[in-house]
A and B are shown apart, each in its own frame.
Chain A
Amino acid sequence: MAVVPGTGSGALGQTAPFGNYTLDHAYDEMFDGVGQPRPQYAHLFERLLTVDPTELRQRQSAADLAFLNQGITFTVYGQKEGTERIFPYDLLPRILTAAEWDVIDRGLTQRITALNFFLKDIYNEGRILAEGIIPRELVYSCRHYRREMRGVPVRRDVYVSVAGTDLVRLPDGRFAVLEDNLRVPSGVSYMLTNRQVIKNIFPTLFSRYDVRPVDQYGQALLATLRSLAPPHRPDPTIVLLTPGVYNSAYFEHTFLARQMGIELVEGRDLFTHDNVVYMRTTGGPQRVDVIYRRVDDDYLDPLAFRADSQLGVPGIFNAFRAGNVAVTNAVGTGLADDKALYAYVPAIIRFYMAEEPVLANIDTWLMQRHDDRAFVLEHLDEVVVKAVGESGGYGMLIGPQSTVAERDEFRRRIEADPRNYIAQPTLALSRAPCFIEDQVQARHVDLRPYILCGDRVTIVPGGLTRVALRKGSLVVNSSQGGGSKDTWVLNA
């Protein structure tokens, strides 16, 4: 096997495609500290040493074209209305060993279980508040807390049935949770299409690895949704509720509906009568039992929430409350992925499960705590500040890369509304090899596995590895110039 010359830091040497590959204090997914490829990357490494960059580039454009022709695109908000773009795709797979995956799998299962206990408790007895483990004020001031959910029974006590948790790998190689996405997480269609594409690009390499499949996701999601149907509806009608063609994830909605063989409905296709939800079909009204909704709480029901919503279904919340229809994820789950409440998740796990968290949290300073705020305002140039209510990489300050004006702006915002901000240390996200400008270069990545929770917890082995394609960038969100790559979980 080829040996890469090089030391702990600096260039890997003159080995053809790795000429510009550097190692620093961030964890490198492919190489260990002395520049040797990790065992699970050995085949890929050998392959890259012999591969012709022109050929790789051709395969890259073939992949891009396939995405474009099939309309596998997302919509960028805040720019010209309705700008459709493909999600940039990197050719080289990210490879995880069975042992690494095992920790992730156990950790995420534990976490989703605890968070569902937590949501049930908050919307019913509130033991965790009574015992003073979480300050009441933090819960009641959360924008996604829904008073309307108090005492509402939820089938199997599963509030969150579909989650997409963002993991990052720290310099010591451990995975930590950066963010729980418990409302309407997206991206799973890219996980599935990435796999199809890479099988076309690297068929031999793929077959040399013993990669666990992800294609069963659609079936697993369907089984999860079915298990949440009201008990008296043995053969439930399941639908996917989309905000419509102008939503950034519309492609994903059509994709999942097709994978599961269920109807893709919009709010205007549904109506309620006597607290039962129906869809309007050419054969007459058809009763609906389970709604996998990709519409935010605010827009779900103009009678219960935002009255100006055109996307929702009047009366759907009452039907849900009456137990005549399952709406999942349940209303009000955004409470548990509030960025300030995030800091308490380890405590939540200990409280409900009496276990230590398997996956670490990132240290988080809450701006409403006086001491934390004072510290962070002193160190704005070192930390990452996030707005609690934002997602998708919007409303963020990355200290080391910020200007004085930006820091002053955030200082003003934090002081005006401390509850709305948290800060975390600037993380050295792990880096993985990417094929960029005919060379293999290291870029920062994260990992979003998709967790399903119905009568049991299912995590499809894999996930979406998001890449910050701009050199040195730490932001992986698709709306901020991020891309994705396929994630392989090995059997051994």
Chain B
Amino acid sequence: MLSRVADSLYWMSRYLERAEHTARLVNVNLYLTLDRATIDETRHWGRLLASLRMPPSMPSSDVDLAAHATGQVLDLANRDSIAASIAAARENARQVREQISSEMWQQINRLFLAVRRDAPDPGWTGRTHDFLMSVIEGVHLFQGITNATMTHGEGWHFIELGRYVERAGATAALLEVHYSDPPGPSTAGVGGEYVEWVGLLRSCCAFEAYCRQYTADLRADRIAEFLILSAQFPRSVRYGARHIQSSLQTIAQLTGRGPGRAERLAGRLLASLDYGQVDEIMSGNLLEYLQSIVRQTGQIGAAVHQQYVSYPVDNALSA
């Protein structure tokens, strides 16, 4: 497979995952802030933008914060907005149209056209929710079509890789923001504590799954355990790391290349999560631990690029 094609598939998938993650986060948080009494809005929207790795510069307090934050994620000119992510994903798909199935192309094209057509005005309007839901569903549909119509070969594994690198990094970043200033009666206000923990879980689609495992008793250490170490929950960091590692292994096999730096990094991350224990993590420096996970997913992405896309030609030819 051409290196450029692999790279485009990887980024197509990453951008779609990013769009879906952003849409869900905003959607969940817009709902939470409806309970105005219990929410400190400045704190709330600042954390949202921070967890999306957007500059958390908040305007003066007389501005509608919800409008400001949703504006950020809906603004096409903003490189990290939903529309920009979907446009970037579609552009990557367009470059490799002969490599993906026609059904995949049609779905991503439809999603792109719909986002351009339907993007609502910033702020909380009746349509914001519909719009965000349609993005989430559009991405889920694309992922389903991909699984159902594309050969699960090298290209498909690059798509998987992109998705889980993005997801593991995003979940870790979200946890980092929450645990850097965990909600308590003093910081989040009366009742705010519960709302914020629910918000975190819902942001990862994890509320129901968590309750099924631990009941609705929300505790910081259990939430961390679930979102970091769960082997079965598809948005936990560990689940992502497992998929990163297995896709990399398959790619190394299919391309006939021996395991390289990317596989080693992915294997190390997975092992640390496989054998990690939540009380150790919580009693150590949790934030540093989460930062290190974000850093490691970044390193894996860079190593994949170096190994399969921008490798130095001289070494490869003499090998």
Contacts and interface: CB of A to CB of B under 8 A. Distances in A.
Interface of A: 69-71, 244-245, 254-255, 257-258, 263-266, 268-269, 271, 273, 278-285
Contacts of B311: 280, 284
A258 B100 CA distance: 11
B105 A71 contact: yes
Interface stretch (B24-32, B91-99, B188-196, B223-231): B91-99
A265 B98 contact: no
Contact of A269 (B4, B94, B105, B257): B4
A280 B2 contact: yes
Interface string B245-275: 0000001001111000000000000000000
B317 A273 contact: yes
Interface string B91-118: 0001101100010011001000000000
Given A69-B106, A245-B94, A273 B2 contact: no
B300 interface: no
B6 interface: yes
Q: Sorted from nearest, which 6 A-B pairs have the closest CB atoms?
A: A283-B255, A254-B98, A282-B308, A280-B3, A284-B316, A258-B98
Nearest to A255: B98
A284 B319 contact: yes
A275 to B, nearest CB: 13
Contact of B255 (A257, A264, A282): A282
B313 A264 contact: no
A153 to B, nearest CB: 26
B251 A264 contact: no
A464 B102 CA distance: 25
B4 A280 contact: yes
Given A245-B95, A282-B251, A283-B255, A265 B319 contact: no
A283 B256 contact: yes
A263 B105 contact: no
B154 interface: yes
Q: Which of A69, A273, A284 has the most CB of B within 10 A?
A: A284
B109 A266 contact: no
B316 A71 contact: no
B1 interface: yes
Contacts of A264: 98
Contact of B257 (A245, A266, A268, A283): A283
Contacts of A273: 313, 317
Binding site of B, secondary structure by majority: helix, strand, loop or mixed? Answer: helix
Contact of B313 (A282, A283, A285): A285
Contact of B1 (A69, A258, A271, A282): A282
Interface residues of B, number: 26
Nearest to A265: B2
A71 B257 contact: no
A69 B110 CA distance: 10
A258 B96 CA distance: 11
Given A69-B106, A285-B313, A279 B2 contact: yes
Nearest to A280: B3
A291 B309 CA distance: 22
11 contacts: A71-B105, A245-B95, A273-B317, A278-B313, A280-B3, A282-B3, A282-B154, A283-B254, A284-B257, A284-B316, A285-B316
Interface string B137-160: 000000000000000001000000
Contact of B2 (A69, A254, A263): A263
A282 B252 CA distance: 9
A381 B267 CA distance: 78
A255 B257 CA distance: 30
Contacts of A244: 95
A16 to B, nearest CB: 39
A284 B317 CA distance: 8
Contacts of A284: 255, 257, 311, 316, 319
Given A265-B2, A285-B313, 17 more contacts: A71-B105, A244-B95, A255-B98, A263-B2, A269-B2, A269-B4, A273-B317, A279-B2, A280-B4, A281-B1, A281-B2, A281-B255, A282-B3, A282-B6, A283-B256, A284-B255, A284-B257
Contacts of A258: 98
Interface string B191-222: 00000000000000000000000000000000
A271 B311 CA distance: 13
A258 B94 CA distance: 15
Contacts of A254: 97-98
Nearest to A285: B316
Nearest to A268: B4
A41 B311 CA distance: 61
Most chain A CB within 10 A, of B97, B308, B309, is at B97
Contact of A281 (B3, B95, B98): B3
B162 to A, nearest CB: 14
A71 B109 contact: yes
A25 to B, nearest CB: 46
A264 B4 CA distance: 11
B157 to A, nearest CB: 10
Nearest to B314: A273
A250 to B, nearest CB: 9
A255 B97 CA distance: 10
B303 to A, nearest CB: 13
Contacts of B255: 281-284
A130 B154 CA distance: 58
A51 to B, nearest CB: 31
Contacts of B6: 282
A271 B313 contact: yes
Nearest to A283: B255
Contacts of A69: 106
A285 B102 contact: no
B315 to A, nearest CB: 10
Contacts of A278: 313, 317
B317 A285 contact: yes
